[in-house]
Structure 1
Amino acid sequence: MLSRVAENLYWMARYLERSENTARLINTTTEVLLDLPRGASFGWDILLKVVGLDKLFEEHYREANESNIMRFLVLDERNPSAIVSSIRCARENSRTFREILPKEFWERVNGLYLYIQGVASGTAQNRAQRYEVLNQIVERSQSLAGLLMGCMSHDLAYEFIRLGRNLERADMTTRIMDINSVVLLPRQGGALEPLQERLWMNVLKTLSAYQMYRRHVDVHVRGHAVLSYLLLDSHFPRTVRHCLSEIEGCLAALPNHTDAMKATRRSWRRLAGLRWEGLTPAVLHEYLDQVQTDLGAIHMAVSHQYFYFHMQQQQTTPPARAVNA
Structure 2
Amino acid sequence: MMLSRVAENLYWMARYLERAENTARFINSTTQVLLDLPRGASFGWDVLLKAAGLDALYDEHYGQPNEADIMRFLILDERNPSSIVASIHSARENTRTFREVLPMEMWERINGLYLYIRDHAARAARGRGPRWEVLNGVIERRQSIIGLLTGSMSHDLAYQFLKLGRNVERADMTTRILDVNSAVRLPSDTTAPETARERLWMSTLNGLSAYQMYRLHVGVHVSGPAVLRFLLADPHFPRSVSHCLGEIENCLCDLVNYEEPLKVARYAWKRLDGERLDDLTAENLHDRLDQMQGDLAELHTAISRQYFHLHQQSALPEQTLSQ
TM-score, normalization by structure 1: 0.94
Deviation at 1:309, TM superposition (A): 2.1
Structure 2 stretches of 5 or more lacking a match? 315-323
SS at 1:102 equivalent:
coil
Deviation at 1:26, TM superposition (A): 0.3
Q: In percent, how many aligned pairs have the same letter?
A: 65
Show the 5 A alignment for 1:141-180: 141-180=142-181
Contact 2:24 2:135 in 1 (8 A): yes
Partner of 1:263: 264
Deviation at 1:34, TM superposition (A): 1.2
Partner of 2:238: 237
Name the amino acid aligned to 1:224: P
Name the amino acid aligned to 2:56: K
Deviations 1:107-152 (Å, cap 9, x if unpaired)? Answer: 0100000111111112222211111000000000111011100000
Distance 1:245 1:75 in 2: 33
Contact 2:171 2:244 in 1 (8 A): yes
Distance 1:257 1:276 in 2: 30
Distance 2:217 2:29 in 1: 23
Partner of 1:110: 111
Structure 1 stretches of 5 or more lacking a match? 314-325
1:216 partnered with 2:201: no
Show the 5 A alignment for 1:170-319: 170-188=171-189, 191-276=192-277, 278-310=279-311
Distance 2:280 2:102 in 1: 45
SS at 1:17 equivalent:
helix
Distance 1:226 1:261 in 2: 28
Deviation at 1:5, TM superposition (A): 0.2
Partner of 1:78: 79
Name the amino acid aligned to 1:198: R
Distance 1:156 1:100 in 2: 10
Report the CA distance shift for 1:312/1:155 in structure 2 as closer, same or farther (over 3 A).
closer
Deviations 1:246-301 (Å, cap 9, x if unpaired)? Answer: 00000000000111001001111111221245422121110011011101111000
1:26 partnered with 2:37: no
Name the amino acid aligned to 1:207: L
Partner of 1:316: none
Shift >4 Å, 4+ stretches: none
Show the 5 A alignment for 1:52-63: 52-63=53-64
Q: Greater shift after overlay, 183-192 or 19-28?
A: 183-192
TM-score, normalization by structure 2: 0.95
Report the CA distance shift for 1:140/1:238 in structure 2 as closer, same or farther (over 3 A).
same
Distance 2:17 2:171 in 1: 14
Deviation at 1:190, TM superposition (A): 5.3
Partner of 2:319: none
Name the amino acid aligned to 2:210: A
Distance 2:13 2:298 in 1: 19
Distance 1:2 1:168 in 2: 22
Contact 2:38 2:190 in 1 (8 A): no
The number of aligned residues is 313
SS at 1:235 equivalent:
coil
Distance 1:60 1:277 in 2: 40
Contact 2:183 2:282 in 1 (8 A): yes
